[in-house]
Amino acid sequence: MLFDQRELSMMVIRLMFFLLGLCLLTGCKSAEDYLSKGLDLSSEGNSKEAILSFEKAIQKNPFLKDAYIQLGLCLENLNQQDSAINVYMKLLQLYPDNTAAYYYSGICKYSQEKYKEAITFFDKAINTKGGFNSADTTSIQALLNLNKDNFESESSETDIPTRDILYDRGMAYFKTGQLKSACCDFNNCIIQKYNTGPSHYMISLCKRVKLK
């Protein structure tokens, strides 16, 4: 019996070494490894290969938020807007308050010229960050003073600043003829010193369109 136990132990050890060697030979990778590889490929402009890496990252870790966002962005680069939105929706099933998923879904809808649907997504993105009435500059300034919009905490792809969302929503408002709402969003961008030149231009454009 003692001999059998020793033999069994040796078999387990040999199996462990075999599996270790197999992993080394096959380049066994973690979800983070695939994510990193995908980021490298994406930065090189190789979106198709990057997509494969991000999909493998998600297979390894279905809760890896960055992999979903990067996968969606690559699909957007390939003008596969609906596929990108599907990816963002999968992320929202796991993380219902994910700002980036709502924001990039809005960007996809804007690209498809579905401006009202884009506004809906932008609204939801803003709500995930606490939300506020963009027409009330007092509330906006209070929000800034309290530093609630702390968008330096994560990468620019995953934590979208409110000012970015408001600028794009302002553009969508303009496209749908909601000029007053557009001006409110552009005014907010000016307060936050974001895209001040384009925001001033869009406000003047709204006024010209309104006078016609």
Tokens standing for residue 150: 């702390």
Instruction: Give the confidence band of 136 by pLDDT, cuts at 50, 70, 90.
Output: confident
Q: Please give the Cα distance from 49 to 74 (Å, whole number).
A: 10
Please provide the size of the chain in residues: 212
Residue 179 predicted with pLDDT over 60: yes
- For residues 103-120, give the mean pLDDT: 98
Q: Give the mean pLDDT of the chain.
A: 84
Tokens standing for residue 27: 């380049």
138-153 as b/e: b if 16+ CB within 10 A: eebeebeeeeebeeee
* Structure confidence at residue 129 (pLDDT): 87
Q: What's the pLDDT tens digit per position in 52-80? A: 999 999 999 999 999 999 999 999 999 99
**Residue 88 carries which side chain, given as an amino acid letter?**
Y
To the nearest 10°, the Cα dihedral for 177, 81, 97, 182? -20
Q: In this predicted model, which residue has the larger pLDDT, 148 or 127? A: 127
- For residues 33-47, give the mean pLDDT: 92
- For residues 185-193, give the mean pLDDT: 93
pTM given for the model:
0.79
- For residues 145-153, give the mean pLDDT: 48
* Structure confidence at residue 149 (pLDDT): 57
Residue 210 predicted with pLDDT over 60: yes
- For residues 16-22, give the mean pLDDT: 56
Residue 111 predicted with pLDDT over 90: yes
* Structure confidence at residue 51 (pLDDT): 96
- For residues 181-195, give the mean pLDDT: 94
Cα 3 to Cα 6, 9, 11, 96, 174: the distances in Å are: 5, 10, 12, 57, 82
Q: What's phi and psi for 65, nearest 5 deg?
A: -60, -45
Percent of the chain with pLDDT over 70: 74
